[in-house]
Chains A and B, each alone.
Chain A
């Protein structure tokens, strides 16, 4: 789904893999004119899994992360390629990139020079550790990022190794900070506070930014949170993942009222006034005891029953769905959340829609992710005024 709210915003997208492309996807879904610039051999992210059997050239994630963008190929190491990119930047509002720091400078595209040349342009750099600092050039992957950024330490069984979160969640968080930074650059410029700027977003800092439970709480309390097994933490609440008859359910019981509701649900209303559990503090001190009682009840019930009966008592209690169930969930269906894309390589796929529902514009169907160099002709001839002969020459030279 896309809205044409940002249709006057021109973005040159030099990003690859996940953090950069999700940032530019957010802008593209809001209607920005995003031109994805890849080297002639393609964004490495094209081959990220998951794969449809027998199709190696384009993974599913690429098809999702690059919806609503147009794609061109340019070899930035060729002199003529360098010129093409600079021409493309003329009249653009944003250059967004997630190369290793220093890469743009080495390509003769130092952000400060570009901004001096095109004062309306802002450059958004998303990188693992930021553009400076003592370990700017270190290596990183998802496992090590989660560990270093503090997400991993408090998760898992107390007697076992800490458990990493799944997938690339923190990369997406960083992408959001990048997309917001892009809008901040536009706002500052349009409010007359100056020309374009070079904004620096560190993926590690974005990861740490979402750990306020840890970093600030331990300073206040002096207690470093450890692993609490199936519980979120040991506290004046019961936030826990519980085994039931046909899978797992997630319970979030925090307030007095929710605890009273929980006691009612398990048919033990007297527990609400039990001196072990009658205040938040007592529920923290006797957390194991409550957990035991609740566990024993949940194991004999089905998820659906727990969900219905829990919610009826205003307890945030949900079944824990698999991704297959998320895809079929009647709530996402009723809200037409997933969008079916007719991808030129992968065929029909269902992808998450845009979470932002603007009322100023009507949502339109998304455009599939571009094939490698799909819009070379369109962009190079219509926007940059190159002749067919020139385009052929560039192709032969391997510049595009």
Chain B
């Protein structure tokens, strides 16, 4: 079966980290030919640091995050500080449909790669720029990554324990990055459709922070309605109780559960043998439980502390209570639903061997997405890409290698 863009679309990905590379990776899932361009001096910083292991261990080929976010791409290197490197990049852009970049604002112009000059050599080119905070405005030059974007979008300010001293916490997954990348993919799909109609490409700008703010629209509106900044709620809910995370027997085992109705609360109490509490007048209905939530949580913590997590989850689910273990990474991968839909895919990647990687999310029956090709080694496809796409001879490629314009080993040992 064919993927959507098999043989029909070429994406040039000169981005680094997660947000930009995710865009390229998702186009690779759709069958597009995706070429990742790195610099041997300034390779993608998500490859991590050369100083983390001895050179013969090839530490920059062992970064799990890089090897995930760059799957299915061909990898080439170009020294973008040299005129030769820029010239070759422009020749690649001439034959590309999409260019993905997430440099700081102004860098592309400084490299002579502003959209206007690229449009002149390829009017069908769609270029997406993904600066953290936008290409204009007084703060456009501020540095930001997934976590800083998450903070500036207002997410971090809402994250904290209900009884904390005001301490905020960063989410576990640098949410600004994947959210920026997903919006980028969506924007490019819109632009491709537009190009099919008009024959013209365009430039799209996506400020990563602006793609995450909509996710806290509820809190932003709450502030407008009440004049008060919503407080961090921790694991609690504004109406329902119990609604929390409780420790079970064992080392670091936790159950997350929520009762959204009085019936569910009574079922919970029966399922774990604390029927007496269901009749306790402090806990009979939602507003009583909410008013006495500290006492309720203390009772539940006591009740759960000696029970087995998996048994307990099974019992609660049978009783119609919304519940799950608080899964660590291996537990996520062992989740029965995740397993039964075979979500993870095994990929054998040079240097690191075979591991399981998250699969494509959308299940598209006739034109399936494919997430099962490995990430490239640094400069792995130099010869192939430059010969195939630009018609370079073996001698010409060897000459570029000798000049240091391309290469397949990092140019100096430095912290990534």
Which A residues have a C-beta under 8 Å from some C-beta of B? 5-6, 22, 26, 30, 48-53, 60-61, 63-65, 129-136, 138-141, 143-157, 160-169, 172-173, 176-181, 183-188, 190-191, 193-194, 197-202, 204-206, 208-221, 224-226, 230, 232, 236, 239-241, 243, 248, 250, 252, 254-257, 259, 279-281, 307, 311, 314-327, 329-332, 334-335, 337, 349-353, 355-360
Main secondary structure of the interface of A (DSSP, over half): mixed
B152 within 8 A of A: yes
Query: Across the interface, do A148 and B256 meet the contact criterion of CB distance under 8 Å?
Result: yes
Query: Across the interface, do A356 and B183 meet the contact criterion of CB distance under 8 Å?
Result: yes
Q: Which of B197-222 contact A (CB under 8 A)?
A: 198, 200, 202-207, 209-211, 213-222
Distance A136 CA – B204 CA, assembled complex (angstroms): 38
Query: Across the interface, do A204 and B338 meet the contact criterion of CB distance under 8 Å?
Result: yes
- Contact flags B299-311 to A (C-beta < 8 A → 1, else 0): 0000000000000
Query: Across the interface, do A188 and B364 meet the contact criterion of CB distance under 8 Å?
Result: yes
Q: Which of B304-343 contact A (CB under 8 A)?
A: 317, 320-333, 335-338, 340-341, 343
Q: Which of B75-83, B238-246, B287-295 contacts A (4 or more CB under 8 A)?
A: B238-246
- Contact flags B164-200 to A (C-beta < 8 A → 1, else 0): 0011111111110011001101110111111010101
Distance A146 CA – B237 CA, assembled complex (angstroms): 14
Tell me which of B155, B169, B233 contacts A169 (CB under 8 A). Answer: B155
B85 within 8 A of A: no
Interface size, B (range): 35 or more
Query: Across the interface, do A255 and B416 meet the contact criterion of CB distance under 8 Å?
Result: yes
Query: Across the interface, do A316 and B187 meet the contact criterion of CB distance under 8 Å?
Result: no
Contacts of A132 in B (CB 8 A): 340-341
Distance A184 CA – B368 CA, assembled complex (angstroms): 10
Tell me which of A161, A172, A219, A360 contacts B247 (CB under 8 A). Answer: A161
Distance A217 CA – B64 CA, assembled complex (angstroms): 5
Known contacts A167-B158, A248-B168; A6/B233 CB under 8 A:
no
Contacts of A135 in B (CB 8 A): 336-337, 340
Known contacts A163-B169, A220-B352, A334-B137; A318/B322 CB under 8 A:
no
B395 within 8 A of A: no
Closest to A183 in B: B189
Distance A241 CA – B148 CA, assembled complex (angstroms): 10
Pairs across A and B, CB under 8 Å, 24 listed: A5-B194, A53-B226, A61-B218, A134-B340, A138-B337, A147-B256, A153-B326, A156-B161, A167-B158, A169-B171, A172-B215, A188-B4, A188-B367, A194-B367, A225-B329, A230-B167, A232-B147, A241-B170, A281-B52, A307-B142, A311-B141, A316-B142, A316-B143, A358-B204
Query: Across the interface, do A201 and B361 meet the contact criterion of CB distance under 8 Å?
Result: yes
Tell me which of B137, B183, B344 contacts A355 (CB under 8 A). Answer: B183
Tell me which of A5, A30, A184, A317 contacts B364 (CB under 8 A). Answer: A184
Closest to A61 in B: B218
Tell me which of B65, B205, B232, B341 contacts A212 (CB under 8 A). Answer: B65
Query: Across the interface, do A187 and B168 meet the contact criterion of CB distance under 8 Å?
Result: no
Contacts of B337 in A (CB 8 A): 129-130, 133-136, 138, 204
Query: Across the interface, do B356 and A360 meet the contact criterion of CB distance under 8 Å?
Result: no
Known contacts A197-B367, A230-B167; A5/B361 CB under 8 A:
no
CB distance from A222 to the nearest CB of B (A): 10
Query: Across the interface, do A149 and B332 meet the contact criterion of CB distance under 8 Å?
Result: yes
Distance A145 CA – B121 CA, assembled complex (angstroms): 48
Query: Across the interface, do B214 and A172 meet the contact criterion of CB distance under 8 Å?
Result: yes
Query: Across the interface, do A199 and B325 meet the contact criterion of CB distance under 8 Å?
Result: no
Query: Across the interface, do A320 and B328 meet the contact criterion of CB distance under 8 Å?
Result: no
Query: Across the interface, do B138 and A331 meet the contact criterion of CB distance under 8 Å?
Result: yes
Distance A49 CA – B26 CA, assembled complex (angstroms): 34
Query: Across the interface, do A334 and B187 meet the contact criterion of CB distance under 8 Å?
Result: no
Query: Across the interface, do A183 and B193 meet the contact criterion of CB distance under 8 Å?
Result: yes
B122 within 8 A of A: no
Known contacts A169-B215, A218-B330, A220-B352; A148/B170 CB under 8 A:
no
Closest to A279 in B: B51
Distance A318 CA – B143 CA, assembled complex (angstroms): 9
Contacts of A240 in B (CB 8 A): 170
| Interface core residue of A206, A210, A219, A230 (most chain B CB under 10 Å) | A210
Distance A173 CA – B358 CA, assembled complex (angstroms): 15
Contacts of B388 in A (CB 8 A): none
CB distance from B41 to the nearest CB of A (A): 13
Query: Across the interface, do B4 and A191 meet the contact criterion of CB distance under 8 Å?
Result: yes
CB distance from B169 to the nearest CB of A (A): 6
Query: Across the interface, do B51 and A151 meet the contact criterion of CB distance under 8 Å?
Result: no
B159 within 8 A of A: yes
Which 4 A-B residue pairs are closest in the complex by CB-CB distance? A60-B221, A183-B189, A147-B256, A50-B222
B260 within 8 A of A: yes
B136 within 8 A of A: yes
Contacts of A280 in B (CB 8 A): 48-49, 51-52, 415
Contacts of A355 in B (CB 8 A): 183, 206-207, 210-211, 213-214
Q: Which of B365-394 contact A (CB under 8 A)?
A: 365-367, 369
Query: Across the interface, do A208 and B169 meet the contact criterion of CB distance under 8 Å?
Result: no
Query: Across the interface, do A252 and B145 meet the contact criterion of CB distance under 8 Å?
Result: yes
- Contact flags B139-156 to A (C-beta < 8 A → 1, else 0): 111111101101111111
Contacts of A30 in B (CB 8 A): 190
B43 within 8 A of A: no
Contacts of B222 in A (CB 8 A): 49-50, 60, 323
Query: Across the interface, do A360 and B202 meet the contact criterion of CB distance under 8 Å?
Result: yes
- Contact flags B59-79 to A (C-beta < 8 A → 1, else 0): 000101101110000000000
Distance A280 CA – B136 CA, assembled complex (angstroms): 34
Contacts of B230 in A (CB 8 A): 323
Distance A184 CA – B26 CA, assembled complex (angstroms): 11
CB distance from B285 to the nearest CB of A (A): 19
CB distance from A57 to the nearest CB of B (A): 14
B56 within 8 A of A: no
Query: Across the interface, do B366 and A64 meet the contact criterion of CB distance under 8 Å?
Result: no
Distance A318 CA – B65 CA, assembled complex (angstroms): 24
